[in-house]
Amino acid sequence: MTDEVLKTGEISKKRGAPLGNQYARTHGFYSPVMTEEERLNFIQATEVQRLDSEIALLRVKIQSLVARDPENLKLITQVTNALCRLIMTKYNISKNDKKGLMEAIENVFRDVALPFGIGFWSVFKK
Amino acid sequence: MCSETLPSPSESASGPSSRNNPSSPLVLNRLWPYQTEIAIAVLDSVFNKKGLTFSVEIARQGGKNELSAQLELLLLTLHIAKPQNLIKCSPTFKPQTAISMMRLRDRLNDAGFAGIWEGELGFIIRLGNARAIFLSAEESANVVGNTAHILLEIDESQDVNKEKYTSDFKPMGATTNVTTVHYGTTWDENTLLEEIKQPNLEFERKDGIKRHFRFDWQEVAKYNPDYQAYVAAEKLRLGENHPLFLTQYCLLPLHGGRIFFKAAESATSG
C-alpha cells in the first residue's frame, strides 16, 4: 500500500484497516507497560508455569493412586500417560518420541519399580 | 485440570499395554532379592527425606553397579520434570566413572529412553530436567560446587580418600539432607567404607534401622549358579585364606590388608 501511495500520490481505496492501526492492540492490565516481545515472553512464561503446576499435580495424583489403589494399573497408566503428555509439551518432545517416552516410563515402572513389590509402593506413597 | 488431559479409555487401551500384559518380555534385568532389599531401604530414605547414609558391601562382581544403575534409572524417571541432580563419585574417572556412565546409558536405552536422554559436558546424563552427575574422587579433581538433591553415591568407597570425601563430596548434600550410599568391598580397617560402616552398625543396634548391607559371595551364589562356579574356581586357584579371596569375596577386612594384598597379588600374578 505504501508503494502505491508513493507512486500514484493517491490514497489507496483498498478495503481494510489503515496503516499503523491499533485495532488489534490489547488493552489488558499489562499492555501499557509491555512491548510486544515482552508480552510474548510473559505468555510463554505463564504457560511454562501452568505446565509445571499440572505436572506437579499429576505427580501428586500418581502418588495418591499408588497409595490408595496400587492394583489399579489401568488408572495409574492413564495418569502416567497424562504426565508424559505434559512433559512432552514442556520439553518440546516430538510426537515421534511421544510413544517412546511413554513406553520407557512404563518399562521402568514395570521392570524396576513393580518388582520391588509392596515394599516399594509403601515407601513411594509417603 | 487433570481431567482435561486424561486420555480416553480407548486411547489408553490402544497405547502401550505391556504393563497389563504379564506375558510381555522384560526389557530390564530384574534385580536379585538382596539387591532389592537394599534398593527399598535407599528409596525409603530418598522418598521420605530421611537423609540416611548407607554402606553396601557386595562380593566382587555381585551386582553393585547394576543395583546403582537401576536406582539411578528409577530416580531419574521419577524426577524427570524436576531440575534436580543425583551425584555419583568413583575413585577415578577412567575407568570407574566411565563404566558407571556406560551402565546408566545402557539401562536408559534398554528402558526406551534412547534419543530422549542427553549427555552434557562429558560427565552428565540428563533425562528431562533431572541430571545424573558423575565425578571423580581423584585428589586433583575439582568437583566442588555441585549439589546432590536426589541421591549421593560413592562407588568403591574403600578406595576413596577420606579427606576428599569429607571436604568435597559430603557437603554436596548438606542443603538437601541427601541420602548417601557407599558401595564397595572390604579392604582394611582404615578405609572410608569401614569408617561409614562401623557407625552404621552402631546406629542399627540403637534404633533398629538397617543402614549396613553385606552380601558375600555365598549369598550372591544362591541366585546365580554361574557366579557360584566362578568363585569356587577362584577359591581353588587362590586358596581360601588368600587375602584377595577373603576381602573381595568373603568380605572380611584384614589388618594392614592393603599392603598384604598387594604383595600377595603380585606373587599370584607372577
- Confidence grade of residue A42 (pLDDT, cut at 50, 70, 90): low
CA of B83: which chain A residue's CA is closest? A52
Determine, for residues A59 and B81 on separate chains, whether the beta-carbon distance falls below 8 Å.
yes
- Position B150 scores a pLDDT of 96
- Position B139 scores a pLDDT of 86
Ranges in chain B, pLDDT < 70: 1-26, 256-270
Average pLDDT, chain B: 85
Determine, for residues A78 and B12 on separate chains, whether the beta-carbon distance falls below 8 Å.
yes
pTM, 2 dp: 0.72
Residue carrying C-alpha cell 524417571: B77
- Position B12 scores a pLDDT of 30
How many angstroms separate the CA of residue A73 from the nearest CA in chain B?
A: 7
CA of A88: which chain B residue's CA is closest? B128
> Which residues of chain A lie closer than 8 angstroms to B115, CB-CB?
97, 100
Measured between CB atoms, does A16 come within 8 Å of chain B? no
How many angstroms separate the CA of residue B144 from the nearest CA in chain A?
A: 29
**Best residue of B19, B31, B151 to probe chain A, by most A CBs closer than 10 Å:** B19
The larger pLDDT score, comparing residue A21 to residue A101, is at A101
Average pLDDT, chain A: 67
- Position B187 scores a pLDDT of 84
How many angstroms separate the CA of residue A71 from the nearest CA in chain B?
A: 11
User: Quick check: B188 and B258 in contact, CB under 8 A?
Assistant: yes
* Cα distances (angstroms) measured from residue B133 to each of A34, A65, B28, B113, B118: 40, 31, 22, 18, 12
Residue carrying C-alpha cell 541366585: B223
**Cell output for B208:** 533398629
Q: Which of A77, A82, A112 sits opposite B19 (nearest CB)?
A: A77
Determine, for residues B43 and A124 on separate chains, whether the beta-carbon distance falls below 8 Å.
yes
Instruction: Residue window 45-104, chain A: list those with CB within 8 Å of chain B.
Output: 52, 54-59, 61, 73-74, 77-79, 81-83, 85-87, 90-91, 93, 97, 99-104
**Best residue of A62, A107, A114 to probe chain B, by most B CBs closer than 10 Å:** A107
Q: Which of A82, A114, A119 sits opposite B2 (nearest CB)?
A: A82
| Residue B53 identity (one-letter amino acid) | T
- Confidence grade of residue A126 (pLDDT, cut at 50, 70, 90): very low
| Residue B102 identity (one-letter amino acid) | M
Could you read off the pLDDT of A52-103 as tens digits, one per residue?
676 777 777 776 776 677 666 677 677 777 777 777 666 666 666 667 787 8
Inter-helix orientation angle B98-111/B64-78, to 10°: 60
Determine, for residues B20 and A81 on separate chains, whether the beta-carbon distance falls below 8 Å.
no
The larger pLDDT score, comparing residue B72 to residue A107, is at B72
Residue carrying C-alpha cell 500384559: B21
Q: SS3 sequence, chain B?
A: CHHHHCCCHHHHHHCCCHHHCCCCCCCCCCCCHHHHHHHHHHHHHHHCCCCCEEEEEECCCCCHHHHHHHHHHHHHHHCCCCCCEEEEEECCHHHHHHHHHHHHHHHHHHHCCCCCCEEECCCEEEECCEEEEEEECCCCCCCCCCCCCCEEEECCHHHCCHHHHHHHHHHHHCCCCCEEEEEECCCECCCHHHHHHHHHHHHHHHHCCCCEEEECHHHHHCCCHHHHHHHHHHHHHHCCCCHHHHHHHCCCCECCHHHHHHHHHHHHHC
CA atoms in the 13 A half-sphere facing the CB of B260: 15
- Position A123 scores a pLDDT of 58
For residues A112 and B112, what is the distance between their CA atoms, to the nearest angstrom?
Answer: 13
Residue carrying C-alpha cell 579427606: B163
Q: Which of A57, A101, A109 sits opposite B1 (nearest CB)?
A: A57
For residues A99 and B190, what is the distance between their CA atoms, to the nearest angstrom?
Answer: 51
Determine, for residues B30 and A115 on separate chains, whether the beta-carbon distance falls below 8 Å.
yes
Q: Which of B5, B6, B19 sits opposite A106 (nearest CB)?
A: B19
- Confidence grade of residue A6 (pLDDT, cut at 50, 70, 90): very low
- Position A40 scores a pLDDT of 67
H/E element holding A107? helix A95-108
